[in-house]
Structure 1
Amino acid sequence: MNWNLKMRNWHRDFSYFYAGLLIAFSISGIALNHRHSWDPRDYVYESIDLKIDLPKDRDAITEEFFRQSLKENNIDLKLRGTAYRRGGYNLYFDGAYAFVNPFTGEGEIERFRTRPVLGQMVDLHKSTSNVWLWYSDIFAICVLLICITGLVIAKGKGGFKKRGWKLALLGVIIPSVLWFFL
C-alpha cells in the first residue's frame, strides 16, 4: 500500500468536498472580524424618527407603556421586548430595533434585513442545530485531516522534514504570541 498516494487522495478529496464550506467560513470569518465597524449579518434599510413623552416616574416606563406610545405614534410594529441598557431604552421588534434617549424621549427605529448570502454564512458560525453541530464536527475532523495530509504529502526540498516544519512552527508561534498579547 502506497501511503503517500493514499494521503494525496484523501487530501484532494476532502479539499474538494469541503471547498464550499471552507470558502463560506473564510469569507464570513473575515466579515465577523470587522463587526465592530459594520454588521455583517444585517443592514438597515429604513430609519424612523421617534419621540416619546416619557413620564417622570421611571417605574411607569414599562413594556406596556412603550406599546401604547408606539400605537399613539402610529407605529405598527410588534414589540417583542424592552431593556434599559447602555444608557437608554432598547426596544426590540421583529426585523427592527430602537434606542430611546431616557432624557429627551427621542429615538430612532431602524428596520433591518439580513444581507443575502453573507448573512446566511455568518449564521453558520452561530447555529446550534444538532444536525449542524454533527456536520460541523465532521467538517472539523476533515479539516484536521486536510492539514495533516498536507503536511506529509510533499517530499524532498519542499517537504515537511526539510522546510515545512519551520513554516508549521511559525504558524503556531505567531498566533500564540498574538493571543498572549491581545
Structure 2
Amino acid sequence: MTENADTSKSAAPRPTAAVNARRSFWLKQLHSWHWISAAVSLVGMMLFAITGITLNHAAQIPAKPVVKETTAEMPAPLVARLADFPDETTDPAPDVMVRWAKDAFDVNIAGKPTETTAEEIYVALPMPGGDAWMTLDRTTGEAVYEKTTRGAIAYLNDLHKGRNSGTVWYWFIDVFAVACVIFTVTGLALVWFHARSRPSSWPLVALGLVIPVVIALVFIH
C-alpha cells in the first residue's frame, strides 16, 4: 500500500503547461517590444551607422564649402528705431530688425544672441553642415548676410553629433537612443531564451564584448 502511494506520488506530472504558458507569454512580449523598437529606430539606426563611417573617414571625404553673400540696406526710419537698443549687449535683436531681416534675407534671427556694439549688431547663425551670420551697421543701415554650406555629408555628420540642430532634434536623439536600448535589451533577452538550442549564441555575445575591450586596452593609448 505504501509502495503504491509512493509510486503514485513520484509519477505525478510536472507543471509543464504553466511553465510553457509563462515562457510563451514572455516570448510574445519580447518579440513585440523587439520588433516595435526596431521599426521605430530603423531609419535613425541606419543614419547613425552610415554617418559613423563618414565621420570616421571625414579627412578622406572632400567637402567644398559654398559661400553665398547677400547685402541689403535697412531704411533710415527703421535704423532710427534701433537707437534705444543698448550699445553693448548680447540680447537678441529687437523686433524691428527681426522682421526686416526676414523680409530682406529670408532668415529668422528671433531669439538669437547678438554681439552688439555701438557700431554694429552681429548675429551668429550656426547650422548643421554649415554656418551663417548677419551683421547690421547701426549708422548706415547696411547689412550683410553670409551663408556657408559644406554639402549633404557634412549636414548628416552634424546631425549625428547633434551640432547646431535645435531642440527638437536634441529630443529626437534621446528618444531614438531609448528605442535602441529597448531593441538591444529585448534582443539579449531573446538570445537568453533561445541559447539552449543555439550553442553559438553566448560565444558571439561574448565576442561582441571582448573585441572592443581588447582594442581599447591594447590599441588606444
1:35 Cα deviation after fit:
1.3
Of 71, 95, 119 in structure 1, the residue corresponding to residue 154 of structure 2 is: 119
From the two aligned structures, give the one with the greater helix fraction: 2
1:171 Cα deviation after fit:
0.6
1:94–1:142 Cα change, 3 Å: closer
Residue 100 of structure 1 corresponds to none
Q: Give the AA of the match of 1:147.
A: T
- Cα contact 2:64–2:150 (8 A) shared by 1: yes
In the alignment, structure 1 segments of 5+ residues that lack a partner are 47-79, 81-92, 96-111
1:11 aligns with 2:29: no
Counterparts of 1:94 and 1:136, CA distance in 2: 24
1:145 aligns with 2:182: yes
1:166 Cα deviation after fit:
1.5
Q: What root-mean-square deviation, in Å, do the aligned CA atoms of Structure 1 and Structure 2 show?
A: 2.8
> CA offsets, 1:101-156, max 9 Å, x none?
xxxxxxxxxxx74323x333212122253332222122112211111111222424
Counterparts of 2:167 and 2:190, CA distance in 1: 34
Q: Give the AA of the match of 1:120.
A: Y
Of 178, 192, 197 in structure 2, the residue corresponding to residue 157 of structure 1 is: 197
Q: Give the AA of the match of 1:11.
A: H
Counterparts of 2:132 and 2:167, CA distance in 1: 25
Percent identity for Structure 1 against Structure 2: 27
- Cα contact 1:157–1:163 (8 A) shared by 2: no
Which segments of structure 1 move beyond 4 Å, counting only runs of 4 or more?
none
Alignment of 1:22-171 (within 5 A): 22-39=45-62, 42-44=63-65, 113-116=149-152, 118-127=153-162, 129-154=166-191, 155=194, 156-158=196-198, 162-171=199-208
In the alignment, structure 2 segments of 5+ residues that lack a partner are 1-21, 68-121, 123-130, 134-147
- Cα contact 1:15–1:146 (8 A) shared by 2: yes
1:7 Cα deviation after fit:
0.7
- Cα contact 1:151–1:164 (8 A) shared by 2: no
Counterparts of 1:43 and 1:130, CA distance in 2: 28
Counterparts of 2:64 and 2:213, CA distance in 1: 34
1:134–1:45 Cα change, 3 Å: closer
The higher relative CO (CA closer than 8 Å, separation ≥ 6) is in 1
TM-score (norm 1): 0.54
Number of matched pairs: 116
1:44 Cα deviation after fit:
4.8
